[in-house]
Amino acid sequence: MSKLAIAIHGGARQDSEFIRNNLNGYKEALREATEISFTLLKRGKPALDAVEAAINYLEDCVLYNAGRGSAINSVGTVEMDASIMDGKDLRCGSVAMLRFVKNPVTLARHILEDSHHILLGGEGAIEYAKHKGVVMEHESYFVVPHQYDLFMKRRDQLSKKEKEELKNHGTVGAIALDSKGNLAAATSTGGTSFNKQGRIGDAAMIGVGCFASNKSCGVCATGDGELNIRSIAAGYVSMLMEEKGMSVQEACDYVIHVKNKNAKGDMGLIAIDPSGNIGMSHNSVLMHRAWMTSDQDFTQKVYEK
């Protein structure tokens, strides 16, 4: 039986008073998501089930910027992105500019399993969700107090330039290695505060926000989506491992600290290779992250490098 492993992130970002005041809540949510996922792996469930369960839990948590708790865009609404990928056969599914769907990553998995498409967005994605019978919620469900307060406070106080520069990351991602040696990766986000309506971030893009291949690794990116898009962040980690023979940690470090050493923004990566080795790297003040394997107990870091 393959070594079991799960790794989860809750976003690479700058510090804030809200994070410091709710740090225990952030940590407890990551612990719960990790333990739920690892329990599934121990029961012999596939890696896809484990990453979907982890992301679902964090999408339902009001603290993280995904699902409920998503950032509010420039017109006062929530639009969500998500993706999921199976490392066994490279099947994948993703959604963009999504509204009303309680758990965007679950809709992305429906696309992976039941559609010949990969990425659905906007109204088409919503109609597909209704067709698949996924759980829907009213728009008010997604707007939680701290995001609404941030929107209202900043709406009239900030200049247009300041709003564009406002960073409120919190993308969530998960990678798993199951008992059959298969990898899977998934990610979900509510975008960034005051982003333009219709903005699509890295979390919806296979090979950027997440990627999984049993030949190299499962990997999720976080931070400034535009930086990850420009550098093809997740896919580049896989390429370095498969083509250059780098270890999972070496590849993550190279993408963050060498390839993007001059990046003016936050970037972070988590990854697992087919042997269950875990790599993590970030250039930001903090990155919420946790992991557990067959031979390593639950471990969590926030501010530590």
Kindly tell me if the per-residue pLDDT of 164 is higher than 70.
no
Question: 152: pLDDT confidence band, cut at 50, 70 and 90?
Answer: low
Per the structure block, which two tokens stand in for 109? 């998995």
Question: 2: pLDDT confidence band, cut at 50, 70 and 90?
Answer: confident
Contacts of 292-298 spanning 24+ positions with Cβ under 8 A = 292/5, 292/6, 292/34, 292/35, 292/38, 293/3, 293/4, 293/5, 293/6, 294/3, 294/4, 294/5, 295/3, 298/31, 298/34, 298/35
171 is catalytic: yes
The answer to pTM > 0.75 is yes
The percent of residues above 70 in pLDDT, for the chain, comes to 92
pLDDT digit string, tens, across residues 67-123: 998 988 888 889 999 999 999 999 999 999 999 999 999 999 999 999 999 999 999
Q: What is the pLDDT of residue 104?
A: 98
pLDDT digit string, tens, across residues 172-193: 999 999 999 999 999 999 988 7
Question: 156: pLDDT confidence band, cut at 50, 70 and 90?
Answer: low
Cα–Cα separations (whole angstroms), residue 30 to 14, 276, 288 = 18, 19, 8
- Residue 76 CA to residue 71 CA, distance in Å, equals 9
Beta bridge pairs of residue 172: 188
- How much is the mean pLDDT over the chain? 93
Per the structure block, which two tokens stand in for 2? 């393959």
> Three-state SS for 12?
strand
- Residue 121 CA to residue 111 CA, distance in Å, equals 11
Per the structure block, which two tokens stand in for 47? 């890696």
Q: What is the pLDDT of residue 154?
A: 63
Which residue, 303, 222, 305, 207, is CA-closest to 268?
Answer: 222
Q: What is the arithmetic mean of pLDDT over 207-220?
A: 98
Kindly tell me if the per-residue pLDDT of 148 is higher than 80.
no
The percent of residues above 90 in pLDDT, for the chain, comes to 82
Per the structure block, which two tokens stand in for 268? 């972070």
Q: Which among 34, 106, 171, 222 is annotated as catalytic? A: 171
Domains of the chain as residue ranges with CATH: 5-293 (3.60.20.30)
Q: What is the arithmetic mean of pLDDT over 32-45?
A: 98
- Residue 104 CA to residue 198 CA, distance in Å, equals 16
pLDDT digit string, tens, across residues 249-277: 999 999 999 999 999 999 999 999 999 99
- Residue 19 CA to residue 29 CA, distance in Å, equals 13
Question: 167: pLDDT confidence band, cut at 50, 70 and 90?
Answer: low
Give the HSE-up count for residue 266: Cα atoms under 13 Å, Cβ half-sphere: 21
pLDDT digit string, tens, across residues 290-300: 999 999 999 99
Q: What is the arithmetic mean of pLDDT over 114-136?
A: 97
Neighbours of 156 (CB within 10 A): 6
